[in-house]
Structure 1
């Protein structure tokens, strides 16, 4: 299966992005996770990567079975804007700038997503508690 690349124009710059649906296990459930990758200056430029954990919770069949969360263009723009302010230099050649949970989760979240390290590092923090807290906070507002 081919990866669908989408374009997003911000000011005078065009970004290309892809999002792949994945899943991560937690103590209470399986959670939908989207691996977002963004490029600005071609395939050899420094990529941006963010693993976005869906905050949907409460399905009787498990969140993985029924969760349909997927990043919008506005979500992708928020990720790009944040990354540019926090050190991503897309014009540099090679490598990947990762928005990690460990370094960035305190300052960055989207309405439907949290950052997670669980895809890259399976022994990283269990996502279930964070998902439940985020879902409860959404319910209150």
Structure 2
């Protein structure tokens, strides 16, 4: 199940306009998890796009269909800042810069989300153990 949010949103950071959009998906493993595919452009529609698949840390008794988690503009800014310091050059033409679980998960995390590769690759690690661990480590939930 997925729904597409076509609306482009704008975010201004360090004198530059970034445009971003998101798509809501679900990824499965031992459990079902809401996953948001975030895509960001920093130099127009033909520039190198930044992509991050963010799995929600929410653990709900009714399943992922009731998870209302969605990245905020602050979350998007955090993703942009991290990507810029880890090799994303938004001025390059075309292509995709991926923030992947396999390369970046040990160094990057948002308060409500974890990076996952499961949306792009069904053979990637099940996100459920990481989601449960993150949920258990957050006493303020």
TM-score band by shorter chain is over 0.9
> Alignment partner of 2:61: what SS?
coil
Match of 2:11 in 1: 8
Q: Deviations over 1:15-53 (max 9, x none)?
A: 0000111100011x1100000000011110000000001
Q: Deviations over 1:69-105 (max 9, x none)?
A: 0000100000000000000000000100000000000
CA contact (8 A) 2:5 2:24 kept: no
Q: Which ranges in structure 1 are unaligned for 5 or more consecutive residues? A: none
> Alignment partner of 2:94: what SS?
coil
> Alignment partner of 1:135: what SS?
helix
Instruction: Give the drift of 1:140.
Output: 6.2
* CA distance in 2 between partners of 1:66 and 1:119 (Å): 19
CA contact (8 A) 2:5 2:21 kept: no
Q: What are the within-5 Å matches in structure 2 for residues 41-52 of structure 1?
A: 41-52=43-54
Structure 2 length-normalised TM:
0.94
Q: Which ranges in structure 2 are unaligned for 5 or more consecutive residues? A: none
Instruction: Give the drift of 1:2.
Output: 6.4
Match of 2:61 in 1: 60
Q: Deviations over 1:105-139 (max 9, x none)?
A: 00000000000000000110001000000001112
User: What CA RMSD, in Å, does the superposition of the two structures yield over aligned residues?
Assistant: 1.3
Q: What are the within-5 Å matches in structure 2 for residues 1-141 of structure 1?
A: 3-27=6-30, 29-57=31-59, 59-62=60-63, 64-139=64-139
Structure with bigger strand share is 2
